[in-house]
Amino acid sequence: MIADLEELVSCESFSSDLEAVARSAKVVADLGARHLGVQPEFIVIDGVTHLRWTFGTPRVLLLGHHDTVWPIGSLLTHPWSVRDGVARGPGVFDMKAGLVQTFHALAGLGSLDGVSVLITGDEEVGSPTSAGLIQEAARGALAAFVMEASADGGALKTARKGTSLYTLQVYGKAAHAGLEPENGANAGVELAHQILAVATLGSGDTTVTPTVLSGGTTLNTVPAEAAVGVDVRAGSVAEQRRVDAAMRALRPAVPGTRLEVRGGPNRPPLEEAMSAGLYALAQELADGLGLAPLTSAAVGGASDGNFTAGAGCPTLDGLGAVGGGAHADHEHVIVSELPHRTALLRALVEAVRHGSAG
């Protein structure tokens, strides 16, 4: 498993570099073929390479991604290593270890009938080309197991907030800032009003966060345009809809300006009701395997498991690596946990195929 993990980590796969993603897909495909006995279907959508294995009529979906947030060249500053039982390298935790676990778990089955594996190439940028593939695969499955890395301490992810992404664009009117500022309509001032308004839309565990700002052209010109990105995390579809309606109801405060709201809900929430049965099954199986008792976590970050749950498929997330530091300099995987999580996944797949889905 360590050798396989080194092979995947050593092939960099920055989401925005489509050639790198294509190279990574070939490496993942060859590794999968060695374990599963067959090459996957290569699906290229808008230049992004996804992989799909299908065995018989799928009843269980194993879902992962091979792209990472790490720019090409990160291996120079964050080289692959295994020291004191800890593996490090770009993408090792999020989520190349999860792919290794997937292949080894399935390789230990007597038959792959009823299994589908979908490994996408654009999860880290919101799954714009793979969302439809994921939803299609989920609609026919009894369960989806998402091989994203675990939460703190190895906890499975039984709930994830849904995400909505917006750009709030302000249009004003340019004028000379020294000679006749009164003849302009200041998009920057209007943006300030809107940022304050947007920041009040959060409620309870729903967060609404203004993020990327832009505007203006020169220091001596009243800005004619300005914009802010808005990140929304909500635990229910109802909350996503409430915030969406509030965003679209925003009105300008500065005369002569107008607003345009682009974007909307990106991923639906993974609510606990969609994972409860599978989590109970996982607890039972872990006990039977002699593993430590499982724990669970609800997290704010989204994954492709949000799509499977939104499609009505029972979903259990965070079955991948135990470690930490996703997207950060200290990204790492606890090597000794790899076979334990692999055994749990194999048992889950078998249980679902024999009628024990949650």
pLDDT, mean of residues 5-29: 98
> Which value, to the nearest 10 degrees, does the dihedral of the CA atoms of residues 308, 67, 124, 309 take?
10
Could you confirm whether 350 is annotated as catalytic?
A: no
Looking at the chain, which residues constitute the CATH 3.40.630.10 domain(s)?
A: 2-161+269-353
Q: pLDDT by residue (tens digit) across 57-69? A: 999 999 999 999 9
**Positions of CATH 3.30.70.360 in the chain:** 162-267
Examine the pLDDT at 175 and tell me if it is beyond 80.
Answer: yes
Dihedral, CA of residue 5, residue 65, residue 308 and residue 58, to nearest 10: -70
Query: Residue 140: which pLDDT band, with cuts at 50, 70 and 90?
Result: confident
Asked whether the beta carbons of 210 and 247 are under 8 A apart, the reply is no
Q: What is the pLDDT of residue 355?
A: 84
Active-site pick, 4, 6, 94, 123 = 123
| Cis, bond preceding 95 (omega within 30 deg of 0) | yes
41 is catalytic: no
Q: What is the mean pLDDT of the chain?
A: 97
When the candidates are 3.40.50.10070, 3.30.70.360, 3.90.226.10, 3.40.50.970, the CATH number that belongs to 162-267 is 3.30.70.360
* CATH of span 2-161+269-353: 3.40.630.10
**What is the tens place of the pLDDT at every residue in 253-263?**
999 999 999 99
Which pLDDT tens digit goes with each residue over 308-354?
A: 999 999 999 999 999 999 999 999 999 999 999 999 999 999 999 98
Nearest to 147 by CA among 355, 346, 358: 346
Find where tokens 């930490």 sit.
324
pTM, rounded to two decimals: 0.89
Residue 178 has pLDDT above 70, yes or no: yes
